[in-house]
Amino acid sequence: MRALWRVLKLLLGASPKAMARGAALAVTVLLMGVALLGLSGWFITATGLAGLAGIGIAFNVFQPSAGVRLLALGRTAARYGERLLTHDATLRALAALRVDLLRRQARAGGRALARLRSEATLTRILADVDALDGLVLRLALPVFAALLTHAVVFAMLGWLAGWPVALTVAAIYLPLAALVLALLARSGMAPSREGEREAQALRRGMIDMIRDREALILGGQLAARETALRAGDQRARAASGALDRAERRAGARLSALVALSVAGALVAGGWLAQAGGLDPARAAIGIFVALALAETVLPLRRGFAELGRMVDAASRVDPGASAPGDDREGQETERAEAPILSIDRPEARFTLNRGEALALEGPSGVGKTTLLLRIAGLMAGEGIAIAGHAPENWTEGALRARVAMLPQRSALIAGTIRDNLALAAPEATDDTLLQALQVVALDAVVRDRGGLDARLGESGAGLSGGQSRRLALARCVLRAPDLLLLDEPTEGLDLETATRVLDNLRAALPDSAILATLHRGGDHVIFTERLTISRP
């Protein structure tokens, strides 16, 4: 529950003024509804009593009827404003939650980010943020508005209809409604969690089936996969049905509570009227006010029914939790006598010292990329030592300062070329950035596009595949790592450009150890050794 409170604090703090205005309008709507029904009840009762007494012609009907119309129109306008402001504030709050979540993930290390790169995790994050939209709209604001409305109504009812009536209504409503809603939250905890879990599994299963449909058809597994998805759908429906039944039971109990409160107000008001302490018209106010207060508790059912879903979602996106990075006290000192890289695995055995370069060759699918990922600490693996220590024994910061990797898929962002290079060297000068671009033979391309301030689209749109890879390689050059891992660095380049890039790379990083996986170009002069990797 602490995580839920922290998420709620973040949501409310994202747009506090809009939330406060929305809450004020929510209270206004409830108070106007209570006042409308209370005034209408008094008006009807007083008019009837005046007619029975034969003084109906002298009764002023204009002011009460004007008040009824004012409250009805005001309530409608306040309801519209309340919906507009609270929904707008909630959308702003969810945007702030997404930004906070992304910031924490951005601070995570490479190992944690590698674990996040799965469809299940991304789908889970999106669903968790969506689940929390009801935390404000269905739970926090309605509960706050209900409690404040009951406090104001208690005071006004005690003044107009007598304190016995006010105490009776409050004593029935507040404790019994809290009990009913607590029971609903408890009974709905498991089915709301189960329903959300099964819904996510069903969504992922559908995506997987559509993506792998050809393989499933060829393997004769399509019918079995469909049967499994139908079973998951049935489980999700069963959990949803259990939650709906719990909510309906709570609705029936709350309706009975409203009837009991109306009966209590009738008895208390009748007793005061019979004792002569209150006229019958004012005694009727308590009855109608008790009936109108149903609007404060009945809408709370859905929020309390989905509390389990919200608690689970909040525990995963908890803003008070640390980023899923690397909190271990890792090794940060290299062994002076150890090589920069030492590999002793079934598929390959070699060492790399400063200034050496090795070309790793082999057919596709043999595991060259996997080996690079293990060396970079993005996948677990034994038999790997960087400066004498296994990758997992280095802290995230120390490992990234020592090792840089160029993957097959270039990771570029929408923005300027300077923005993309600044990811590796935020404080680098323009001259330094241009020198890095010259190393990867991209300086002329950038100059023709308008220089470092030339803008790129999403994922580097505007550059060719080879140009995108060279821009990502320029970031590695800016890091000047002790160990540079290159996964097919010359892919998409003509022979002349590939030769130029490799020559410049060694000249710019003379002391760096370079390990490159290649389909071609392994005979280049910069590579002091070539090794063909075998299947482990």
The residues spanned by each domain of the chain are 2-316, 341-532
The pTM is what? 0.67
* pLDDT at 426 (0 to 100): 86
The answer to whether 134 and 302 have CB atoms below 8 angstroms apart is: yes
Of all helices (H) and strands (E), which one includes residue 484? strand 483-487
Q: Which two tokens stand for residue 284?
A: 């009727």
Of all helices (H) and strands (E), which one includes residue 532? strand 529-532
* pLDDT at 478 (0 to 100): 92
Please write the tens of the pLDDT for every residue from 80-136. 988 888 888 888 888 888 787 777 776 766 666 666 655 666 677 777 888 888 888
Judge if 2-316 and 341-532 fold alike in CATH terms: no
The answer to whether 455 and 419 have CB atoms below 8 angstroms apart is: no
In sequence order, what DSSP letters do the residues of 357-413 get, joined into one string?
EEEEE--TTSSHHHHHHHHTTSS--SSEEETTB-GGGB-HHHHHHHEEEE-SS----
Q: Which residues of the chain have pLDDT under 50?
A: 323-330
Q: Which two tokens stand for residue 214?
A: 């050809």
Tell which CATH classification among 3.30.1200.10, 2.40.50.140, 3.30.70.100, 3.40.50.300 matches the domain 341-532.
Answer: 3.40.50.300
Q: Is the dihedral of CA 385, 391, 397, 400 positive or negative?
A: positive
CATH of domain 2-316: 1.20.1560.10
Selection from 418, 444, 415, 443 nearest residue 429 by Cα: 418
Alpha-carbon distance of 134 to 140, in angstroms, equals: 9
* pLDDT at 329 (0 to 100): 45
Q: Which two tokens stand for residue 191?
A: 């089915």
* pLDDT at 523 (0 to 100): 64
Question: Which residue type does 226 have?
Answer: E
Q: Which two tokens stand for residue 366?
A: 């043999």
